[in-house]
Amino acid sequence: MLPRIRPKPVVAPYQDVILSEFIYTAPTKSSPAELVAARREEERWRKLAKTNIMTLPFRQASYWMWRGFMLVKNIIWKDDFIYVQVIGRNGTFKFDRNAAWALDNGRALDRLVKHRLEDV
């Protein structure tokens, strides 16, 4: 999306829309052993944060640098986009899966439209 240019909505019947993949992805279930290991790791980090105040600025800088790196990665590679084709229109559109306000987390759209599960 370019600055100061409004996105142009595309109106089409749901029969003419083809998505490259499903919008809704079911959350993964963690095993009890993984949950226990995650709790232990979190407790270890909390204990470190309380006892070792000298490394706090480095840990915070590391956290923010990692967040910045992940934001740049998402901007460059666009992992969270679904490609959409509309029959009768030229080109392929991109649909942001994470910013979708679709009904029922996208399950309603998944049931209505067709899917082409290979690359578009």
pTM exceeds 0.85: no
What's the confidence (pLDDT) of residue 42? Answer: 94
Output the CA–CA distances (angstroms, integers) from residue 45 to 51, 58, 59, 112, in the order listed: 10, 14, 11, 46
Q: Cα(112)–Cα(19) distance, rounded to whole angstroms?
A: 11
Q: Which residues of the chain have pLDDT under 70?
A: 1-2, 78, 99-103, 117-120
What is the distance between the alpha carbons of residues 97 and 79, in angstroms, rounded to a whole number?
Answer: 9
